[in-house]
Amino acid sequence: MTAAAKKKQPADLRSARWFAPDDLRAFGHRSRAMQMGYAPEDWVGKPVIAILNTWSEAQPCHMHFKSRVDDVKRGILQAGGFPMELPALSLSESFLKPTTMLYRNLLAMDAEELLRGHPVDGVVLMGGCDKTTPALLLGAISMDIPAIYLPAGPMLRGNWKGKVLGSGSDAWKYWDERRAGKISDDDWVDVEAGIARSYGTCMTMGTAATMMAMAETLGMSLPGASSIPAADANHIRMASESGRRIVDMVWEDLTPAKILSRDAFLNAITVAMAVGCSTNAIIHLIAMGRRAGQDIGLDDFERASRKVPVIANIRPSGDKYLMEDFFYAGGLPGLLNEIHDHLHLDAMTVTGRTLGENVKGAEIYNTDVIRPVSNPIYKEGALAVLKGNLAPDGCVIKPSACAPKFLKHTGPALVFDDYPSMKAAIDRDDLDVTEATVLILRNAGPQGGPGMPEWGMLPIPKKLVQQGVRDMVRLSDSRMSGTSYGACILHVSPESYIGGPLALVRTGDMISLDVDKRTINMNVSDDELAKRRAAWKKPEPRYERGYGWMFTRHIKQANEGCDFDFLETGFGAPVAEPSIY
Ligand code: FES
């Protein structure tokens, strides 16, 4: 590092407050560091780098973090830093119930307070499985010390009988094939064994791959980091490079606030469209934008969706390829270079250079995987924001992943008040349903779910599956997995549990959606809706104590990013550094 780039001196380090003074408290900090076998040579004059590691034995997507953290430490030591690994809440999408979204903000708080309370000058954030990326970034944004995000990377392609299997997407697909009697129970067990065959995150363009790409586009990861498969040796080298780079970022005082401009978020939204992102990206990017003090909302997504085509031919928006193919085709840098006309190229990044400088000259090696803008897989963006009397504050659909005939549709509602009643009825032979029916699930939003579970891809009724139906319009205030697909309308706001209009729909009401016009309405008169509203009763509280009690009181709606109100940047004065007495 040049002397000019160095903005901090050892005495300016945050950690010096713990280690440098000649007083009794600092004696305690030094003597306890020595208890762990460290000598003053380990820390004097060196930035202390926290590594927030979301490894756990319930987290298959982060299995490699147990050893990958050593590669990060190697890089930190090489660059003259002092690594300090701090375990953080893991948020395993696979195992944590009722839904990881209930706990995203808990990890965000965990991250922020771990950083605030410890003697650290910078941080490497190790995440990847869906909510871990936004949660770690939310915490780092609020703490605003130099931070670099290390994405877990996608797992290798799945394999079954010579067929490529994609996370989530092929689970839903073959589940329907099994329900239709098209594959055997033995086949199903083999799919189970072949669909996730290495460590790493889901390898479709689900929420994990989307959010890792968002972190990189925002400028919070090294160029190309988010596309590297977890099991590739490049991932190990990227981990140690992240460790080396964060030490310099501390000396340069390159904080998230200097990176996360409104332009950085607009870039992320643009790229979300181009990759055929998970619908969950909307909620997380809005939350992160608001934490960073940027005014990001659904309108920004709507504007981008009208002008940015989907060019990443990755399932579920694409029909063939997975993240491993995306990496070989040039990965995110290749895609960013291809859409550079749509990007704010002067946005700053963790490299200390701009996004434009980072991706200049990045090549594409397979133009079927990363398509030219002139030959997209879908001409408009991946997401559309709909509004109307059913969703005054908006809802979303992923047109690139649904049957085109449902983009303009009117059909009768079949309403379920909760998931158990839907599950009990959906496979009944006497269910009054046709392909034109609009399946509705309510009380599945942020408060009602609780935690807005990924229930939005409601199962197709068995009698229709057996007739060959594989898509129909489904509508809810829940989310859906980024690996899901179909004509699913999600995130209806305000949610039904708090009395949003979704609470007033009845079976048989006609529902109309028009994606081109961006509308969603129930064809019910205002007078009738007023009568129904007067008769509506608020459901029973979900929690009477504990974290859930706090969650339901402070969670914001989907269109506002589902942050806790008290965590938002504008809620109160910034939190001061901890006193050390
Ligand atoms: Fe972890 Fe999909 S379950 S990324």
Closest by CA position to 134, among listed 563, 560, 483: 563
Q: Is the CB of 93 under 6 A from ligand 1?
A: yes
Is residue 21 over pLDDT 70? yes
- Percentage of residues of the chain with pLDDT beyond 90: 92
What is the per-residue pLDDT for 173?
Answer: 87
The mean pLDDT of the chain is 95
Question: What is the spatial order of strands in the sheet that 82-87 belongs to?
Answer: 82-87, 48-53, 122-127, 147-151
What is the per-residue pLDDT for 5?
Answer: 75
User: In whole angstroms, what is the distance from residue 433 CA to residue 322 CA?
Assistant: 34
Is residue 179 over pLDDT 90? no
Ligand 1 centroid–CA 91 distance in Å is: 10
User: In whole angstroms, what is the distance from residue 381 CA to residue 557 CA?
Assistant: 23
Ligand 1 centroid–CA 9 distance in Å is: 41
Ligand 1 centroid–CA 130 distance in Å is: 6
Closest by CA position to 472, among listed 463, 480, 481, 464: 464
Is residue 60 over pLDDT 90? yes
**Ligand 1 atom with the shortest distance to the CA of 206:** 2
Closest by CA position to 256, among listed 349, 344, 129, 384: 349
Is residue 100 over pLDDT 70? yes
Please state the pTM of the whole predicted model. 0.96
Ligand 1 centroid–CA 155 distance in Å is: 9
Read off the amino acid at residue 551.
F
Three-state secondary-structure class, residue 129: coil
What is the per-residue pLDDT for 3?
Answer: 66
What is the full DSSP assignment across 551-569? HHHHBPPGGGTS-BGGGSG
What is the per-residue pLDDT for 4?
Answer: 65
Is residue 435 over pLDDT 80? yes
Over residues 67-96, the pLDDT tens digits come to 999 999 999 999 999 999 999 999 999 999
How would you classify the pairing of strands 391-397 and 384-388?
A: antiparallel
User: In whole angstroms, what is the distance from residue 486 CA to residue 498 CA?
Assistant: 27
Ligand 1 centroid–CA 275 distance in Å is: 18
How would you classify the pairing of strands 408-416 and 510-514?
A: antiparallel
- Residue 535 has phi, psi (to 5 degrees) of -90, -5
Mutate to test the pocket of ligand 1, among 129, 211, 284 (most ligand atoms within 8 A of CB): 129
User: In whole angstroms, what is the distance from residue 71 CA to residue 62 CA?
Assistant: 14
Q: Is the CB of 201 under 6 A from ligand 1?
A: yes
Over residues 307-329, the pLDDT tens digits come to 999 999 999 888 899 999 999 99
Over residues 227-247, the pLDDT tens digits come to 999 999 999 999 999 999 999
* Mean pLDDT within 505-521: 97
Q: Is the CB of 61 under 6 A from ligand 1?
A: yes
Lowest-pLDDT range of 27-36, 170-179, 259-268, 525-534: 170-179
How would you classify the pairing of strands 408-416 and 122-127?
A: unpaired
Over residues 184-206, the pLDDT tens digits come to 999 999 999 999 999 999 999 99
* Mean pLDDT within 376-399: 92
What is the per-residue pLDDT for 467?
Answer: 92
- Percentage of residues of the chain with pLDDT beyond 70: 99
What is the per-residue pLDDT for 155?
Answer: 97
Ligand 1 centroid–CA 553 distance in Å is: 28
